[in-house]
Structure 1
């Protein structure tokens, strides 16, 4: 499928049949990237991967599915034909990962960013202005198993919205992704959805990284006072950002996620355990940046940020 803008940029505002084949390249095939690769392929799209691995073909498998897929990897011809680049690398990797691909892309190629954290696109404003750019957040749970297959640990929802004017005309992409892996919906205000996801990450990820515990352990009595203070600070920053949220409702939403993912280990927990750089700069770091902008005091979140950074400095091995 080749997508083109008219001079009035109206073609992309049309509804594209979800069954029509699109050329999709997934940049960063970790757990979420492979989950989408599998389902988009099964929905009939022409999917390939772009990764740090040198193999020209990679296997993509999802637990409890009857077949694995063999998918092209690092194929420059596929980049040139891409209708969509789905970017699922970690937030800290986005800037370095996207730049090598740009010389191969048409300016009609849709860039869809789907990762934890906020602020990555702020570093790419001039670059992204050339392309229809979308942001997404998903609550689907996924993790890589020892065999390299994907465990789909929890079904969730995906929300997609436009970052720039070209992106806002790509509403049909939500239908494409919903057809592959429900439920996916379009929003006119993607920042509301991203802030709600960020609030969950700010509450869960740093604490579980510092305590080296499962998400469900945050529901224990000894963690409630700290969690309450953290959520109170997050809610005040969100309100300053114009997000309509009250502390009690936010706490209820976060507790729901803690209970639903009780047996999960957060990505930040794993990064600290394995001596890797975390995404703290784009999670709590972004919260602190916006708190300073609004002159909102967030001492507990600042303490978490500093503790995670100290753990990084003491333990980074890769």
Structure 2
């Protein structure tokens, strides 16, 4: 017998039927994507083709943005439309971490209390601030390993298949597991995690190694498999593992070593996001990656000198750029 699951989000009635092997029926949602960079543009195209009403919110003042993903037809999205924002069921935030709080602070009066806010970016530390700023909104954290690249302002390429994990940060967010089929239908694979902080911490651990090392030496991810990096990677892993264990994540050193090298191999031809920021002389997400790790290390009275050295090197490079 079919089981009906339903929920109201703003003015939208969301329902899905569990019909054994059949996929859920997904009702169209009103979605605003804040920060249409590479990954935001990819999700915009995929969610739009999946039948949802998608609009964009860009830091560039424009009424519409055209995007084309690979061979698919070009899509015209409305941009910076306050009516779309105030009526949104879902606000998907794909801005880089340093921009999240200041940008949402400027938008806060136009975000309805019923709007679900999904944070999808590298690093940690923004959820606490956004939960304080929007205490009544359901807040969800998302991590994704899908690759995206924008060779032109109106073109986005899906450069690597990956997976997306979603999970609630606050009480309202923890009741939003119905988002899993919405994201899965648009861009598989997607899973709902009852404890989203564990995969988020694991991703942070990987980013603490790959991002600063590739950014400082301006190398592809695959270069980190060479012998010259093994000693520093080992030292970084030992420091990171202590922090994860103190945070209540009992990960072993062997598990971290295996995971880090698997990611290095799987993304060997990629340039990390921090590499690209440093290359283009843009501010990086170091404060929300290694910086966040160092904050938690200090809270637990854990020494992390190797991570501290990488953090200071990136900050020095950014200062030289300024």
TM-score calculated relative to the size of structure 2: 0.92
Q: 2:167 aligns with which of 157, 161, 172?
A: 161
Structure showing greater relative contact order (alpha-carbon pairs closer than 8 Å, 6 or more residues apart): 1
Give the gaps of 5 or more residues in structure 2.
Answer: 1-6, 18-23
Contact 2:113 2:134 survives alignment (8 Å): no
Q: 2:312 aligns with which of 291, 306, 312?
A: 306
TM-score calculated relative to the size of structure 1: 0.93
Measure the CA separation in 1 of the matches of 2:160 and 2:174: 29
Q: SS at the partner of 2:69?
A: coil
Aligned residue in 2 for 1:8: none
Q: SS at the partner of 1:145?
A: strand
Q: 1:40 aligns with which of 42, 47, 60?
A: 47
Aligned residue in 2 for 1:221: 227
1:281 aligns with 2:287: yes
Q: SS at the partner of 1:135?
A: strand
Give the gaps of 5 or more residues in structure 1.
Answer: 6-10
Question: Matches of residues 192-271 of structure 1 in structure 2 within 5 Å?
Answer: 192-271=198-277
Aligned Cα root-mean-square deviation (Å): 1.7
Measure the CA separation in 1 of the matches of 2:169 and 2:188: 22
Contact 1:19 1:43 survives alignment (8 Å): no
Q: SS at the partner of 2:43?
A: helix
Number of residue pairs matched by the alignment:
309
Q: SS at the partner of 2:129?
A: helix
Q: By percentage of residues, which structure has more strand?
A: 2
Question: Matches of residues 1-318 of structure 1 in structure 2 within 5 Å?
Answer: 3-4=9-10, 15=16, 18-63=25-70, 65-146=71-152, 148-316=154-322
Tell me the CA shift for residue 67 of structure 1. Answer: 1.3
Tell me the CA shift for residue 19 of structure 1. Answer: 2.5
Q: SS at the partner of 1:152?
A: strand
Measure the CA separation in 2 of the matches of 1:152 and 1:176: 19
Contact 2:31 2:52 survives alignment (8 Å): yes
